[in-house]
Amino acid sequence: MSWVLVCQACGTTIEPVEPHWRCPECSGELSITGLDALGASPRKGAGLWRWSDVLPVTPPSLGTILGEGDTPLAPVEIDGVTIFLKLDSQLPTGSFKDRGAAVLARYLVEHGRNRIIVDSSGNAAAAMAAYSAAVGLKCTVFVPASASPAKLLQARAVGATVVPVDGSRSDVAKAAQSAADNDERASYASHNWHPVFVEGVKTWALEVLEQLGGRAPDVAFIPTGGGSAFVGAWRGFRAENRDMPRLIACQPAACAPIVTAWESGSEIVEAEQGETIAEGARIALPSRPSQIRQALDESDGAAAAVDDASLRDTLRLLWRRGFYVEPTGALGVAVCRSWIARGAIRPGDVVVAHVTGHGMKSTSINQAVLDEADEAS
Ligand SMILES: [Zn+2]
């Protein structure tokens, strides 16, 4: 297994000796080249580590760290169409971030780090904190002061130091980066930036291919904030060398910088900062714009937004069917429903929606969604 880091902005190629999170030459976004083709050998190992052919670290000796990987692909009929829900809400800490956190935590330990600093709107904090605890890393997480209490409690419970920061999501990231820059023993381990994180996340797509009996879906709806689930999907589907599904980046209308750029045909993604119940996608400026664009282009994909009213409606529908997911985790299904409504899903299409986070993560927002429905009835 031989791979290198490549800067998406200036093209610099870097041997993976140091655990760089962005380009040391120009601060651009990094991606990994050389881990994008699965061999034909039978899959060995457990959980997401069965895909270790295309991961930048070796599998843990016990099989998995916290039991990451192998989430269900559950079919559900909504608005007359069968949608396969990839329930990454069932990962050990309750969100898809576990895939990236498991691989990144192990990678940083292999690189001799003992302390990490991360920033998160909540789910990545919980995931990085849990995997840090499991592999013996000290973890400090910078979070927006407004993040869901359950996610922060989760990070604290597993031993992380949680630092709430007033201000925007970007302010939180800057605070974390500056803390890491000022501490020689620490590594900045941002899920939004670190190229290794996305390599772990791509295993969700590899599992979907396996669960569909080796065929690719026709279309996949993916909640998109920073873009790690979206870019991960593209890298995963590509690694199996099957037909690429149309990848749909799904954002909340109030904070949809990728959708705005996509609809205007612009290569440049401009920051947007609006309020939405999809707190995991309240990312003003995604840090992987070039890979998101490449994924949209190569998959003949699209970026699409839903307003919070539609998102609330979809949440209540999923809940009533027994799928207790958090608002961000329902973005894919909500956008999918708008496509069904305008006839954009063809009969017979195999449709997948990535469900990225569990409902227990966002109790206070869920409460408000339910109270509002009660008032309306
Ligand atoms: Zn560069």
Find the DSSP H helices in 266-307: 289-298
Instruction: Give the distance (Å) from ligand 1 centre to CA of residue 10.
Output: 4
Instruction: Give the distance (Å) from ligand 1 centre to CA of residue 2.
Output: 21
Handedness of CA 98, 136, 4, 7 (dihedral sign): positive
Within 10 angstroms of residue 364's Cβ, the number of other Cβ atoms is 9
Instruction: Give the distance (Å) from ligand 1 centre to CA of residue 24.
Output: 7
Half-sphere exposure of 372 (CA within 13 A, CB side): 13
What gap in Å lies between CA 191 and CA 21, rounded to an integer? 9
Sorted by sequence, the CB contacts under 8 Å of residue 79 that are 6+ apart come out as 337, 340, 341
Instruction: Give the distance (Å) from ligand 1 centre to CA of residue 175.
Output: 22
Instruction: Give the distance (Å) from ligand 1 centre to CA of residue 198.
Output: 18
Instruction: Give the distance (Å) from ligand 1 centre to CA of residue 21.
Output: 11
Each of the 377 residues of the chain gets a pLDDT tens digit; together they read: 589 999 999 999 999 888 899 999 999 999 999 988 777 776 788 999 999 999 999 999 999 999 999 999 999 999 999 999 999 999 999 999 999 999 999 999 999 888 999 998 789 999 999 999 999 999 999 988 887 777 788 999 999 999 999 988 788 989 999 999 888 778 999 888 999 999 999 999 999 999 999 999 999 999 999 999 999 999 999 988 778 999 999 999 999 999 999 999 988 889 888 899 998 898 888 889 999 999 999 999 999 999 999 999 999 999 999 999 999 999 999 999 999 999 999 989 999 999 999 999 899 999 999 998 888 87
Instruction: Give the distance (Å) from ligand 1 centre to CA of residue 14.
Output: 10
Tell me which residues have their CB within 5 A of the ion that is ligand 1.
7, 9-10, 12, 23, 25-26, 28
The string over 14-36, giving b where at least 16 C-beta atoms fall within 10 Å of a residue's C-beta and e elsewhere, is: eebeebbbbbeeeebbbbbeebb
Strands (DSSP E) found in the chain: 4-7, 13-14, 30-33, 73-78, 81-87, 115-119, 138-144, 161-165, 186-188, 219-223, 246-252, 302-306, 351-355
Handedness of CA 252, 261, 81, 239 (dihedral sign): negative
Within 10 angstroms of residue 242's Cβ, the number of other Cβ atoms is 15
State the pTM of this model.
0.95
What gap in Å lies between CA 201 and CA 364, rounded to an integer? 27
Instruction: Give the distance (Å) from ligand 1 centre to CA of residue 29.
Output: 7
